């Protein structure tokens, strides 16, 4: 439970979301869902036969972060890499339909647009298959991406989200250049990290690993509160960032801030059906709230409420301001 004063304060930040501007840089992709029912096992192999009832294609990874920020009312642009293919054209079209600029999407020859296909039967994922490459972007693509970031920073930007899915866009050189630019311009840089890249996030504002990622990144097996505290403190020191927000599933979140303050935030999720995209929702809401002048604790609380909404929905989902306000006032 939170007090009425706290509730009013959190809602005040939500009302400020439309005045913020965020750039999302990272791995863009499409989430393709095949929905169906299973009533028998295949005679050809011991696998279920899925009778397809519908298909859907949604914005995923960095573009799901864009979708989340847009749904919450913030102004948002995207910067990433697509292929010269139908998936790239579809992704671009889906963003443009929402009124989101796509000039920051760079086409790199020979690179496919990433697609993750999930087969869902009776609200359960049966299988997933990926079409992608994880090769790092080339020098010319890096130059074009960073030129776009610099133009955005000169045009009234508040924050940059690095959405890293280890598909080759978020490189050491790109992070270094963005962090240097952000410090010069006074911008927030938030990162949804991947474990094999922890060493490249040095100097960002805030990092949002889950428990497993924090364990691997700190090389401390998080099993209890004591190991969690050691891991959080070590990540702060090693990466020299302002804060680390460890998302802990049913245990909520733990925020570690420079200076030693640690805040544990209990989960508000009522039912959990699917955690797909929950990390995108956390980084989106957290960054928007910080751009709207919330301190890190209030920003983390808002992201916790938003995550509690999306995990109750099967498939990649986003949150609207009214839903977020309703969840806060109902708590």
Torsion region of 260: left, alpha or beta (phi above 0 gives left; psi -120 to 50 gives alpha):
left
Pairing of strands 159-163, 48-61: unpaired
Does domain 4-31+60-114+131-330 bear CATH number 3.40.220.10?
Answer: no
| Per-residue pLDDT tens over the stretch 36-74 | 999 999 999 999 999 999 999 999 999 999 999 999 999
In the chain the first and final C-alpha atoms are separated, in Å, by 6
pLDDT at residue 215 greater than cutoff 90? yes
Q: CA-to-CA distance for 204 and 162, rounded, in angstroms?
A: 10
Is 280 an annotated catalytic residue? yes
Percentage of the residues of the chain whose pLDDT score is greater than 70: 95
pLDDT at 274: 42
pLDDT at residue 270 greater than cutoff 70? no
Catalytic residue among 154, 280, 295, 298: 280
pLDDT at residue 122 greater than cutoff 60? yes
Q: CA-to-CA distance for 252 and 330, rounded, in angstroms?
A: 18
Torsion region of 123: left, alpha or beta (phi above 0 gives left; psi -120 to 50 gives alpha):
left
Q: What is the pTM of this model?
A: 0.92
Q: CA-to-CA distance for 159 and 151, rounded, in angstroms?
A: 13
Domain layout of the chain by residue ranges:
4-31+60-114+131-330
């Amino acid at each position: 439970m939170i007090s009425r004063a706290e509730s009013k304060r959190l809602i005040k930040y939500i009302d400020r979301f439309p005045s913020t501007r965020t750039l999302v840089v990272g791995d863009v992709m499409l989430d393709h869902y095949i929905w169906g029912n299973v009533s028998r096992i295949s005679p050809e192999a011991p696998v279920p036969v899925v009778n397809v009832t519908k298909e859907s294609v949604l914005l995923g990874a960095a573009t799901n972060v864009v979708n989340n920020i847009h749904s919450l009312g913030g102004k948002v642009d995207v910067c990433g890499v697509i292929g010269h293919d139908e998936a790239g054209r579809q992704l671009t079209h889906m963003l443009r339909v929402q009124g989101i600029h796509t000039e920051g999407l760079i086409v790199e020859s020979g690179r496919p647009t990433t697609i993750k296909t999930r087969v869902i039967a009776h609200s359960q994922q049966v299988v997933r298959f990926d079409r992608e490459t994880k090769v790092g972007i080339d020098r010319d693509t890096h130059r074009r991406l960073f030129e776009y970031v610099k133009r955005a920073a000169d045009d009234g930007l508040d924050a940059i989200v690095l959405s890293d899915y280890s598909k080759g866009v978020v490189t050491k050189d790109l992070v270094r250049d963005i962090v240097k630019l952000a410090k010069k311009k006074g911008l927030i840089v938030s990162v949804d990290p991947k474990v094999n890249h922890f060493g490249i996030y040095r100097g960002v504002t805030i990092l949002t690993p889950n428990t497993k990622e924090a364990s691997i990144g700190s090389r401390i097996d998080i099993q209890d509160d004591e190991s969690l505290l050691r891991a959080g403190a070590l990540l702060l020191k090693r990466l020299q960032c302002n804060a680390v927000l460890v998302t802990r599933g049913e245990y909520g979140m733990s925020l570690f801030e420079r200076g030693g303050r640690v805040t544990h935030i209990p989960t508000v999720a009522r039912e959990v059906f699917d955690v797909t995209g929950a990390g995108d929702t956390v980084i989106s809401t957290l960054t928007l709230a910080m751009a709207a002048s919330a301190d890190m604790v209030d920003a983390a609380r808002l992201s916790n409420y938003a995550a509690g909404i999306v995990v109750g929905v099967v498939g990649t989902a986003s949150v609207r301001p009214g839903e977020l306000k309703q969840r806060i006032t109902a708590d």
